[in-house]
Every structure is written in structure tokens, then in C-alpha cells.
Structure 1
Amino acid sequence: MRPARHCSGLVLASLLLGLLLPACAGPAAAAELAPTLSVKTIRGSRIAFQNGIPVPTFSYQPRRRLDLSGRWRVQPMRMDNDLSLAARSSALKRIVADAAGRDQSTYDDTTWSTIDVPGSYNPPPTAAGSGAWYRKDFDVPPDWQNQTITLKFGAVNYIADVWMNGHYLGYHEGGSTPFAFDVTDAVVPDEVNTVAVRVDNPPWGTRQDIVPWGLTDWWNYGGLTQPVWMEATPAVFAVRADVVPHLDGADIAVTLHQRGGDSTPAQVGLDILPATVDPANLTNPDPVSLIPAGALPLASQRIDGGQIGRDGTIAVHAAFSLTNADLWTPQSPALYVLQVQVFWQERLVDQIFETFGLRRIAVDSTSPRLLLNGDPVAYAGVALHDERVYPAVKGEPRGGPVVTPDDILILLDKANASHIQLIRADHHPANPLLLMLADRLGYAIWEEIPLYHYTPATFAIAMDRGIPQQMLSEMDLRDMNHPSVLFHGLANESTGGIERQQALAALHNLDRSIDGTRLTGQAAYGNQPDDTSSRPLDVAGYTTYYGVFYGPDAGPGTARAIQVAHATYPKKPIIIVEYGRWSDSAAEEEEQRRILADTYEAAAPYLDTNTGGFLGAAVWWTLDDYWTQRPGVKIEHFGLYKPSGDPRAAGLQAAALFSGGAGQGARQGIVSTATGQPRQPAARGLRFLGYLAYALTVALAIPAVILLGLLFVRRRPRQAVAS
């Protein structure tokens, strides 16, 4: 076993990194770039807007669609990070001047390299530059004339400025969540069009005002990392449909928008249809592919949406009672399809489809345990990265963002072989492909925003800027209809007492106001099981590395920590969000296996499914090895599996210890059923709660103390703190 880090050094270093790193990098101008997501109250409903339009659905829709993924022109370069984070009211002219025509359709980019989108301009092992320009020429079909055209990005890491045919559309900050623009006036149907994107991905550890801010334990893939596409709709169309599931039905909110036009009445038709998943449709993103041939609606309703004014947006609310419905669980992932039809002047003008499941995750009101659909649950979990591993290259993970369902299936097949039931989706919002397959196959998901190793100072900066709130809102809005998402993580291994607790409380309240169907938590340091900062959250989560980073023994240390955590939170479920150990060589596999076995066996008596249990999950770090930008470390070998796909001893041990039962949805042949009828919708609106700024005081530390703290900032003896 390698020497464990000192806990006091860990805490000290976390507090002081925020002071030292920016000092090493030189002064940076304070970020003035404002969040782009806001909320409006319209007829009593709170509706999210971004870039001048209501936030749309980003799920696949069987509409007129133009996929802009594939080959793009790219020119990596070092960007001016201060300029990228400056308010566009003052910075746009300089950004355009620095572009030197790259934003214009007439620019000659033929000497540039080409790149696949989705993808990244900085794959490992080298990280060149801090940004890149992307450009693509494409034809727009002639029948898109007189249509409303929306340009959608799955994600761009980290700051994107976008132009269409030389027209500036706007910007977005945040590397894992989607955004969209109305490009109706900028696109020319039946002609060649050009989209240009300026991407800046400021290096982590160089400034305190980006999210995440410091050195992290994964690869910082920059660029257009998720798909890009356009959709065409009529002037009156369905923007999105959000489903709030219950065990006996569902509440539905449909957002409608009219671009231009005069005030006009609109009606909405709603159908709930059965769904089935099989190997043939498992990876098909179109919800229509899940509807059995000839299937009839299980419940239907037609609603008068009222008048929509010129450039107007409204929300239409409905509800259904469903009896004898099939509920979603990892062991039996039953799904339904919602069909939304929009009628204007008695004509069907638009429709969208959303997949959803009926489930309820909650904390038992009589004991501190998790209940899924009223039954106690406890999950064996694993963390995975949004990174391609297979096929390995010279014995190393392939690298690059996950871009296809098959990439995800390779990961989930290994998770299934190790009897995993819950996936922790890295330290940032999950890849939508993972959520689609988790819904269909049956895996519980913990996803989170990247407040990673935050301090009192960096919490204050981030929350004052509003970027964590925007990231959480975008994640919530994107993933509303995914039944697999049971947990929202709000921070990882961060420090600060009241400062952290206030930030977590604000984020919890925001999450509850938008969604309310998931449980909130964080990953607090496990060597401080009496940490009280999880008080505002639904569950108390910890990273637990006894016998690895602290404490001489994995088993007794873990058991004592669980008992202290329970005494600290007697009414909350405890979750081990992370435990693990590296295996850099075959000689270390046995020690890795022992840590897994000793930790899990120490935790098992406390699982929720046992009488008096209060432990909801234990999540191994990680499924696979992964690339990292930690100084002195190239690849982390924490995986249950080698890059070749072969299990390590710990992977075999996991399969022997964990009960499994999840991930079988495509083989079960479930065809969801129910008897449904309309009911009065519950009084519910989308409520965004403002964050009250709080003042923090950061004490100065002498250089010797800073250096002393940094000596202990390592995940293991050669690197920094664990994930």
C-alpha cells in the first residue's frame, strides 16, 4: 500500500489552492460574462428562456431535421481567456476583430484541418492551446422556406460564440449542457450556409471564476463535444413537454411558442402510448421507434391552449390518472411515450414525442432509507467517464468523448457483467446517450454539476456569477423526462462550513423548484463523517477511502465512518458516492480487490434493504481506466476493467459481491400497459429561486504554509486529491 495522505494537509491544500494557482498563472480580469438562461412568468407559469427563445427539448424529434455532425473545419489556437469571459457588450467588437474574418461565410478555411463533430480538438496525451475556431458549410433544403429554424448544440466546452452566415447569434458558457438559437432570419434555404463557432476552454487551474476551476482528475476535452443539428417547425409549435411522474399517473406541462404572426388560438392533443424496448430499437433515439406497431393510446386528452400572441409563449398543463400502470425500476424498466400534437386553425401543425417512466424516489418518512416506488432499495454502483476506452490503443484507453450509443453499450456491458445497478456519471452532467440507454436497459443514475474541490472563496465567486445555477437548470430541464436519473449531485469533495452549506441550500432549492422528482446530495470527504454541510440536502454522500488515503484498515475504518455519518444525519440515507483504489500493475490487483471487498463487506450490514438499514448505495471509483491532466500522471488505473476490456481481480470480485439484476430491459420484452383518464392538473409551476449572495472572507496565508499544504494535495503519493 502506498503511504496515505494526511487529512489535515488535504483540507489545508483545498483551501489554499484558490490562492496559489491564480498567483502562479498571473492576474486575470474578473469574469463579467453573464448567464444566458432566465425565467419569465407568463399566465402564472414560470418558463425558462435562453438566447431570446424558450428553452426547447433537446431529445430527438421526428421533425424536419438537419444533422450538422460529421466533418468540420477546425483551427486550434490560444484564445484570450479574459476577452472570452468579458461582457459581450464591451468585448464583441474585439472578438470580431481578432476573428479576422473567421466568423464570416466568405472566409477561406480550406487550409484548416478537419475534425469529427462530436469530438474534441485536444485529445490526449497532449493538450494544445486553449481553444479553437470551428466552421462548417451546409445546404438547407428548399422546403425549409417560411419555417421557424432552431440551431441546437448538445454541448460545447467551455465558452462558445456562434455566427450563422456572418450574423452573430450569441454565446454560451458551460461545457456539458445544451443551448439553442433561433436562426430563422440568418439561414438561407436552398443555398449554402456557414456556421462558425469560436470555442475557448480556459485551462483549469489558471483562474477561479470558471466551473470547474481547479485541477481535476479527468481529461478536459474542449470543443464541440456533443451533436449539432437544426430543426424546422411551423410558426406555431411545441417547444417542449415536461412530465412529472407519479405512481398513479403523470402531470404534464407543454410549452407552445409562436414566431411572428397575430394572436391566434391553439389546441394541444396529448396521448400516452405504450412502449417496448428490444435489441432492434435499443439504440434508436426516436421515441416513435419504441411504440409497438398498431398500438392505441392508453389515455388521451385535448386541451384548449388559449390565445398565443405575436412572438408569444404559453404553457399548457394537463394530468392523467393511470391505473395498473407499469412502474420503472432498474430491474423492470417500463417506459411510456407521450405524443403531443399542436392544432392551429383546426389543423395539425406540429408534434413532439417524449419517453418517460413512472417512478418515485423518496426518503422514507419513518426511517432514513431510500424508497423507490415505496420499496426499500440499496444500490451497488460504479462511476464512469464520458470517454471512449475501447478499442485500446497500445494498451491505453482510446480517448475522446463518447459519441455513439455503441460507445455507451461497451461501458454498460461491462457494468452489467460486474452486477452494477447504479451509475455515477463522472463529475458533470451525463451524456444524453447514457441516460437514454439507462432508461431503456435499467440503470439508476447519479449525475451532478462540476463544483469540484470548491472552497469558500470559489463557492462565492461561482455562485455570485450564477454559472452553477445555470448549469443545474440546464441539466434539470434537459433531463426532466429520464426516469433513470434518481440523484442530483451538487458538489464534490469541497470545503467550507457555512459557505458551502449556503451554496448547497441555494442549489437544492433551485433544483427542487425546477424538478422535484430527484434527491439531492453531494460527495463530501469521507475522513470527515461528522461534516454537517449536507443538512440542506436529501441524502448525505461521502467519498470513502479508508485503507487507501486515510486510516490503516478499509473495513473497520469504513464501518466507523458509516456509524458517525449516521449519528450526524439520523434522518437521512447515507450514500458512499465513491470508494476505490488504483492498480498500476498486475502486482497491485490483489490490493485493489481487497479494498473493494473489505469496504463493501463493511458497508453491507447497513444497506437500506436490511432491517434498520440506512445506507442507500456504495459506488466504486471507477469502471475503467481514464486519461487525466493531473501533473505527473497520464492515465488513472482505478478501473474494474483494463483498457483491453478484460476484468481485473476487483471486477471479478464485484460480480461475486453485488446482487445485480439491473440492465436487462432490452431482453425482458416489457410492453407497458395502463388504464388512463384525464384528471385535474396539480397546481405547479416552474419556479426559479434567486440566489442570495453571501460574503466570504478569505484569510491570507504565508507562502511556506501554502507550500506545506500543497505537499499533501494528491490523490495518491504522486498526484492530487481523489476525484
Structure 2
Amino acid sequence: MKTTKHLLFVFLSILCSQSAIGQDLLTHAYGRDTYSLNGEWQYIVDPYETGFYDYRFKEKHEKDPGAYWNPGIPKDKSSLIEHSYSDKNTLNVPGDWNSQDRLFLYYEGTVWYKKSFDYQKKKESNRLFLYFGAVNYQAEVYLNGKKLGSHKGGFTPFQFEISSEILKEKDNFVVVKVDNKRHKDEVPTVNTDWWNYGGITRDVMLVETPAVFVEDYFIDLDAPTATLKSKTKKAKAKGWVKLNGAKAGETVTVEIPELKVKQSIKYTGEATAFSLDLPKVELWSDVNPKRYEVVISAANDQLSDLIGFRQIEVSGKDILLNGKPIFLRGICMHEEIATEVRRANSEADALKLLGWAKELNCNFVRLAHYPHNEHIVRAADSLGILLWSEIPVYWTIDFGNPEVLKKAKTQLEEMITRDRNRPSIIIWSVGNETPVSETRTEFMKELVMRTRELDDSRLVSAALEVHYNKDKNTIDDPLGAYTDIVSVNEYLGWYIGLPSYCETAEWETIYDKPLVFSETGAGAKGGFHADSLTRWSEEYQEWLYEEQVKMMKRMPDNYTGLMPWILVDFRSPKRNNPVYQEGWNRKGLIDNEGNKKKAFYVLQKYYKEIEEKTR
């Protein structure tokens, strides 16, 4: 049998070009010397973008007192200023604006944020960066009236360096123009089945570094599958390190204290490879999420992180974790706290959502339909939950537009750069339910290829669609020829017939690859009870899950995972039934009040059975 191996950092292709190691993103921001700018920010709602454009709709001059990146303070009583920031109007950061005031419930447009702060660097020669976990969707960032830069993409981090000429010890103010309007040529596009939460939705901080610092790194296991056991006496690791501000010849030290491993190398001026000999290493897995501290030092900088050593690969029809077949007992999840109708943004939020997944007996979560915040990914590392991470190439983006492809690649690179050292992520996804055409397939193929250039250590997939027919449902999406696994969304019993339709449903795929069902489900209003034929009742959803489970038990032998849609009800303006939906997608196994529906226990039982068989 031919085996396709995906060692956890096949790094030679990554080293071939500077762009192959990301967009110069300062990684592992939480492990550095930081100063939080979270908290209350003043704001101005600006639906006409008056603060950005003049009356001829041209961008205002930097020193224009009427520009909203300036504080709006009159020089004297005769000055004409038509904007002002006030403590009467504040929004919490991190947080979406929609959940903080009914004024913003359905608002999509521009809001200006302003935060004042004092800051003195610990050392004059140090460097300072303004770091954002994410802003949805387009951010224009200013400090003390000077533009630092802009960023597009609502779910990935970015930062700007602050020069000493701009920073003051007292009375600094940062202003961010946030625009979450949807456009046809953006990623995602105008049509999505989730709410477009606007705002500075993730942490904001100042990050102080020495003049020379560790910007990025990658390290993981390098061992043939045949040698993998729960512990290995001798193992090897490979990786690379990238410095910022360093010249060739700088000494870099990589250390894993618990394993008493320490290696020094000479920096080459670009991403520099290294290898380590490791004694008796415990492998990270869903049942043993063992992590090791890794310390990377260069000049006056030291970066510490927690990593796990593990391998994920495909062998024939199986997905292998550390050389052993694994079944993905999964669930899909949005980055949303439904009980408070807001974006999830904290470690506590992450533990709440992933705790529900653990209670469901899941070992796998699909992070839909965009990269989730870093708290969720790191919590999954600690809990032993495997992850699917996805960029928002969703439904009907403009596949024929080269600029859209460029934007998708940028988001892909930012996602991978941030999380390539997170052992929980085993699948990078390049999109969801994209309609089949030659143009679309070429677009998606480009993303698959780019993913492998950036990180060939994980599996690559996308949520595909199915050709339904009466006799047999066929999986033949041409994109499946390029992905490592075949992942399909199916809704038999909800959009296709009644749940009884599953009783005789047969499946086939033209690909000799592992098959996972990346979505299935039915809507139910929590607390609404009726007979099983009544749509929107918990009983209908329960019946569908019962029939789905029976159907899954008849699947071909390449069936290796299931991730129903979805863990919790979530807000969506596409769902407008005034009785049962009210602006919510009701396919959650937990309702928006935090109550578990009857179908939750059907899936929980099924996963328990699988867990007991595979242990």
C-alpha cells in the first residue's frame, strides 16, 4: 500500500523563499513583553465615512483637523470641529460592537475607535509594535495622528511597528477606523450564513522587543511512522528560526529544558534550519496532550512557548495520528457565545465552548468558517482536542478575480503563520461549499498548493458538496483530487427528504482517500417539543440524528470522521422564520440559552461507542 506521509515540518520547501514563512507576522505575541490596550475605547459611528473622506470623496489630508484620526479638540473657541471623542460613547475591546448596544444590532459600516495611553519603553534601544488579534474587516490604524498602516481580513492578526519619533511617554492616542461592510471582491464575500460581527474583536496590545528578536520559528518531530510509540528512546526534531533585525552570524540557541536538549546555530540571515536529537519523548495526542516548553534565544531576546510533538498523515483510507488510525469524533463550532449574542474572545470563552465539545465525547472540532482566536487554539492544545482551521473562502466568492485569490492567500498565510506550532491543528481547510466549475477548481487548487508550500506537515482539505441522487449519493467533486482527505457536507433528512431518507441512502466516492462528513444536521428550537414529524421540534432533530447514526454505521471502510453542524445555535440574518428562528440558525445541539437539545445525547452516545471500540 502506498503511504502519503506528512511529517510535521517538511521544511525544505518553506526555506526556498522569504515569503514562504509568512507575512513577517510577529508570532506568539502572548509569550512576549506586552502591555494590554484592552478595555473601554471611545467611538464615533460614521456610516458616511465623513471622518475619512472630504466632500469630494477623497481621503483627507493627515493634518486635517476634521479627520477622525485627529482628536477633535478645538484650538480655540472659534475653531470649527464637527467631531469629538467622549467617554459618553465607549465600546469594550476586545468585543464586537453589535452585542454592546442595540444601536449596532444590524449595523454594518464604519466605526472609529480611540484609546489614550501612556507608555515608556523599558530600554531606549528596544522596539515597539502595536498588535491586533483581529479587526473585522478592514482596519486603518493611526497613532498620534500618524497613519501606521491598514489591514484587510477579519480573523487574522497583524501588527505595526511604532517609531520613536511618533511615540510619547504621555498622552498617546491610537485611532482605528473599522469597516465591516461586505463586498463582492472580498473574503468572505457578501453572502454568508453567519452574522458579520464588526469591531476590534480580539486583544490589542503593545509588544516590546529587543532590537534583535525571534520573529518566527517552527519545530516538531522528524521520525518515520514505523518508529513511533507512546514514548521513543531516540527521536529527532527539525525546524527553522527567523530573526528580525539580525545579521548573518548571530548565535541562536534552541532549548527544551525538560528533555535537557540545547543546540546553538549560526543565523544565516534568513530562515535558518536546525535539527535536535531528543531522548524519550512523549507524543502529543487527543488522549495525552503532552507539551514541552521550548526556549529560543538570540542576542538579548528569549522566546518561550509550549509545543507538542506529534505526526498526522494519511495511509490509504486511514488518517493516522502518531502512526495509529484515528476516528475524528467531531463537531463544527462558530466563534460565538450564543448566550450573550457576541463573539467569543477570551480564554474563559474558549474553555466554555471546548468544554461542551468534550462533554459531547468529541476529540475533534471544526473551526468554522474562519480562523478562530488564539485562545481557542491554545486551549485545544492543552485539552487534547484536534482541530480543523479554515479560511473564509465561502460559497460564492469571485473565483475569477486574481485580486480575490491574492486576498485569500494572504489570509491563508496569516492563519498558518500564527498557528503552525499548535499541535491541535491537524487539518488546514481552504474553503467551504464552493460551487463546482473549472474556474473555482483552479482557484481552490492554487490555495491547496500554497498551503503545502507553507506547511506540508498537516493535512489539507475543504468542505465539498455532494451529487445527490435516488440510488446512490456520489462524491466526485474535482477538488477532491487535490486534497488529502475527502470532506463533504450532507443534509439528508433536512434539505433532502425526511430523516427516513437515510434508511436506504448509499454512498460512493471516486477517491481512494479517507472520507469525513464535515457537516450534517437539522434545525430545532430549543424547548419546542412535538412528534418527530414536526419540523423545528427537538424530536425531529433527534430523529434525524438517530437516522444519521444508523447511516454512518453502514458507510464504506474509508469513513474516518464526522463533524455535525453545529455545537451551538448562532446568529444569522438569513434565518427569518418569526416563530422558530428569529434571526438564529437553529441547527445547534445546544440552544442560545445554553440548554442541550435531545439530539445532543444521541451524538454523545454514538461517540462514546466509537471511543470504546477504538481504545
> What is the TM-score normalised by the length of structure 2?
0.84
- Shift of residue 106, structure 1, vs aligned partner: 6.1
Change (3 A) 1:412 1:631: closer
Gaps of 5+ in 1: 1-40, 85-89, 275-296, 307-312, 344-348, 390-396, 607-611, 663-723
Q: Distance in 2 between matches of 1:42 and 1:515?
A: 7
Matches within 5 A, 1:164-203: 164-203=143-182
What is the rounded CA distance, in whole Å, between the counterparts of 1:532 and 1:488 in structure 2? 18
Q: Secondary structure at the match of 1:354?
A: strand
Q: Partner of 1:449 in structure 2? A: 391
Residue aligning to 2:10: none
1:604 maps to which of 553, 556, 569 = 553
Cα RMSD of the aligned pairs, angstroms, is 2.8
Matched position secondary structure for 2:538: helix
Q: What is the count of residue pairs matched by the alignment?
A: 553
Instruction: Kindly indicate whether residue 334 of structure 2 is the aligned counterpart of residue 385 of structure 1.
Output: yes
What secondary structure does 2:330 align onto? Answer: strand
Deviation at 1:134, TM superposition (A): 0.6
1:440 pairs, out of 382, 385, 401, with 382
Equivalent residue in structure 2 for 1:337, among 278, 286, 293: 293
> 2: distance between equivalents of 1:252 and 1:379?
28
SS of equivalent to 2:508: helix
Q: Verify the 8 A CA contact 1:335 1:357 in the aligned structure 2.
A: yes
Q: Is the Cα contact below 8 Å between 2:66 and 2:72 reproduced in 1?
A: no
Q: Corresponding residue for 2:25? A: 55
The answer for the alignment partner of 2:519 in structure 1 is 578
Q: SS of the residue aligned with 1:324?
A: strand
**Amino acid paired to 1:590:** E
- TM superposition shift of 1:631: 5.6
Given candidates 315, 318, 322, the residue that maps to 2:278 is: 322
Contact 2:43 2:86 in 1 (8 A): no
Residue in 2 that maps onto 1:497: 437
SS at match of 1:620: coil
Letter in 1 for 2:443: A
> Mapping of 1:355-366 within 5 angstroms?
355-364=306-315
TM-superposed deviation, 1:321: 2.8
Going from structure 1 to structure 2, the CA distance change for 1:360 and 1:98 (only over 3 Å counts) comes to farther
Equivalence map 1:461-476=2 (5 Å) = 461=401, 464=404, 466-476=406-416
Q: Provide, for residues 471-502 of structure 1, a one-character-per-residue CA deviation record: whole Å limited to 9, x for no partner.
A: 10100101101111111111211113222221
> Which residue identity lines up with residue 171 of structure 2 in the other structure?
V
Q: Give the Cα–Cα distance (whole angstroms) in 1 for the partners of residues 408 and 574 of structure 2.
A: 23
Query: Map of 1:152-231 to 2, 5 A cutoff?
Result: 152-203=131-182, 207-231=183-207
Distance across 2 between alignment mates of 1:333 and 1:152? 29
User: Does residue 1:634 correspond to 2:567, yes or no?
Assistant: no
Whether the aligned pair in 1 keeps the contact of 2:18 and 2:270 (CA below 8 Å) is no
Q: CA deviation at 1:188?
A: 2.6
Using a 3 Å threshold, how does the CA distance of structure 1 residues 556 and 228 change in structure 2: closer, same or farther?
A: same
Aligned to 2:35: 66
Secondary structure of 1:445's partner?
strand
**Partner Cα distance (2:543, 2:568) in 1:** 18
Q: Percent identity?
A: 27
> 1:178, CA displacement in angstroms?
0.7
Q: Which runs of no fewer than 5 residues in structure 2 stay unpaired?
A: 1-12, 74-83, 224-234, 469-474, 531-536, 577-581
- Bigger shift: residues 193-202 or 236-245: 236-245
Q: Describe the SS at the equivalent of 2:492.
A: coil
Opposite residue 110 of structure 1, the aligned amino acid is S
**TM-superposed deviation, 1:99:** 8.4
Looking at structure 1, the residues matched to 378 and 209 of structure 2 have their Cα atoms a distance apart, in angstroms, of 24
Task: Tell me the residue number matched to 2:69.
Answer: 103
Report what 2:302 is aligned to.
Answer: 351
1:251 alignment partner, one of 238, 242, 246: 238
Cα distance between partner residues in 1 of 2:364 and 2:14: 38
Residue 408 of structure 1, CA deviation = 1.6
1:5-24 to 2 correspondence within 5 Å?
Answer: none
- Check the 8 A contact 2:433/2:464 in 1, yes or no: yes
Q: Within 5 A, what are the aligned runs for 1:552-567?
A: 552-553=498-499, 556=502, 559-560=505-506, 563-565=507-509
Partner deviation per Cα, 1:71-116 (whole Å, 9 max, x = no partner): 11111221559x99xxxxx998348599823212564412651111
Report the Cα distance in structure 2 between the residues aligned to 1:80 and 1:192, rounded to whole angstroms: 26
Using the TM superposition, give the Cα deviation of residue 231 of structure 1 relative to its aligned residue in structure 2, in angstroms.
1.2
CA distance in 2 between partners of 1:335 and 1:43 (Å):
26
- The higher-RCO structure (CA 8 Å, 6+ apart) is 1
1:531 Cα deviation from its structure 2 partner: 2.4
Deviations 1:263-296 (A, max 9, x none): 674211110134xxxxxxxxxxxxxxxxxxxxxx
What SS class does the counterpart of residue 466 from structure 1 fall into? helix
Residue 417 of structure 1: how far off its partner (Å): 1.5
Does the 8 A contact of 1:448 with 1:491 survive in 2? yes
- The answer for the alignment partner of 2:425 in structure 1 is 485
> Is 2:122 the partner of 1:146?
no
Is contact 1:354–1:481 with CA below 8 Å preserved after alignment?
A: no
> 1:46 is matched by which residue type in structure 2?
Q
**For the Cα contact (< 8 Å) 1:58–1:178, is it kept in 2?**
no
Q: 1:91 to 1:268 in 2, by over 3 A?
A: farther
For residue 314 of structure 1, report the CA deviation from its aligned partner: 3.0
